[in-house]
Chain A
Amino acid sequence: MGYFFDAARAMAMSLKSAFRKPTTIEYPFEKRDQGPRARLTFALVHDEHEEEACVGCLMCQKICPSQVITVVPGKKRPSEATGKKRGFADDFVLDMNACIYCELCVQVCPTDAIVMTQEHMRPGFAREDLVLTMDKLYANEQEKELSWGRASILLAMQDPKRGTDQERAVTKKKSAAKAATKPKPEPKAEVKADEPKADTGPTEDAS
């Protein structure tokens, strides 16, 4: 008899959840907000002088645990904007076939040149489609929304001598540097409207 009673309770529970709003997100038609820190694919960015920020220093190639980055550093030449001599990368290939999305290349970049994006890369039909060439990486800068993570932001955040970090979804390098030098802000109690809201789940229904 206990079986009947417990079966009834279990059935009541499952019926109750049948009347809740489904949590499914129909992916190609609607997209989930993954928050500003999402690490989904890569982009190479230009600096404030509209020049390629990558100086071809090979730091990302060296740190990559799965060794998917290949950089061909070019000769140093004077920058067109500032006239100073600086390095350039002749080629930059990131093979997404084996990338583990660890964000270490972003963290070690001395010029904030490589960043991750908040949008997924498009799936491809061949392995070659997953290899991000330099062109694709620079195209990603234009096409996709860039993530919050930058070397300067991450390093400032991890600075052993620093207080807590006032971090917002900063995209500009300057404001990030400013934020890093700022004194400790108050613990933020209120959630701002532009706050990351990826967990649509908990607010999905009040029941």
Chain B
Amino acid sequence: MIPPIVLHGLIYGGVAAIALLTLTAWGIWFERKFAGRMQSRLGPTMVGWAGLLQPLADVLKLLQKEDLVPAQADRTLYLLSPPLTVFFTLATVAVIPFGVDVAVANLPIGVPWILAFSGLMVFPVWTAGWASANKYALLGAMRAVAQGISYEIPMLLTALVPVIFAGSMNVNEIVRWQAEHHWIALWPPGPGLFAFVIFFLSCLAEANRIPFDIPEAESELVAGVTTEYSGMRFGLFYLAEYLHTLVASAVASALFFGGWNGIFGLPDGIHWMLAKTLTLFFLITWIRWSLLRFRADQLMRICWTYLVPASLALVMISALWVHYAPQLGPMWGG
């Protein structure tokens, strides 16, 4: 007999994972289409109407490909790394509230959970680079670890801002607090919005998106950690990257934009969460196809000289605000 809590977790988790993977697939389709239009191209057009089935075709193609393992590679680590990246990314989904009280797990330690699994992402990337026995992969993994660990800090600190305001580490509670009071990105005028910007930039870096995509940097490091991977294992890395982007968008909208909370008094629900997540995803895509990338040392400098001090200051400001001006509501009441 399966205990009901496990059953609940399995069902909700399965549904959430499948929904997210589907969303990711069409996120990729959207990105390709949008990038194509930006570049005076058409994007996918052949598979299905307007190329809508292109992600499916891609997956089928990747599945058919030979799964190469270099002779020098550390076989176990090499084979294990790609599924682990997807697993760690999917694990963060567990605590994200998609609708009113719709979450796989309503954990009281939601925010640390997200940050912990996001931090764990560094390991499969590092093992993949190490196990590939390829110099480009090693350099890419080195960069990925340096970048991941550095940007972890501003991400962690800025995620504290909503926690301080809402007085809870439960993501659902944070969203509920925002629904009752106000969105954190909008009020108080300083810390919330800046915290969101820094959090967003850190997410870009964590998800290896341009302008922070130096671990992959295909013009320099061929394909970074994924240099030796082929077939579906490469596809898993690819999937994890997009999934990470999508999850980061979801987390950002839950923490800073009130998650499932509707605007103008419209009914709350999962549609708001979806809309906000996709808007942020669109923003990330848009940034990606518009900007060039930074150099590794510039990236580190931005992180340590601007983002880390700024996020520390934001944490202090929010703490002071909560302590001294807790009654100061937004000008529109709330």
Contact = CB atoms under 8 A, between A and B. Distances in A.
Interface of A: 7, 10-11, 13-15, 17-20, 22-24, 26
A17 B287 contact: no
Contacts of A19: 37
14 contacts: A7-B211, A7-B290, A7-B291, A11-B286, A14-B289, A17-B37, A18-B37, A20-B40, A22-B42, A23-B40, A24-B40, A24-B41, A26-B42, A26-B45
B9 interface: no
A149 to B, nearest CB: 32
A15 B38 contact: yes
Task: Please indicate which of the listed interface residues B40, B286, B291 has the most CB atoms of chain A within 10 Å of its own CB.
Answer: B40
Contacts, number: 39
Interface residues of B, number: 15
A13 B290 CA distance: 8
Given A11-B286, A26-B45, A17 B291 contact: no
B154 to A, nearest CB: 15
B291 A18 contact: no
Interface of A is mostly: helix
A11 B282 CA distance: 12
Contact of A24 (B42, B289, B290, B291): B42
Interface in B206-232: 211
Contacts of A23: 40-41
Interface in B285-325: 286-287, 289-291
A15 B290 CA distance: 9
Contact of A14 (B41, B42, B211, B286): B286
Contacts of B291: 7, 10-11
A11 B287 contact: yes
Contacts of B41: 22-24
Contacts of B36: 22
A17 B45 CA distance: 19
Interface in B15-35: 34
Nearest to A13: B290
A10 B170 CA distance: 38
B286 A15 contact: yes
Contacts of B45: 26
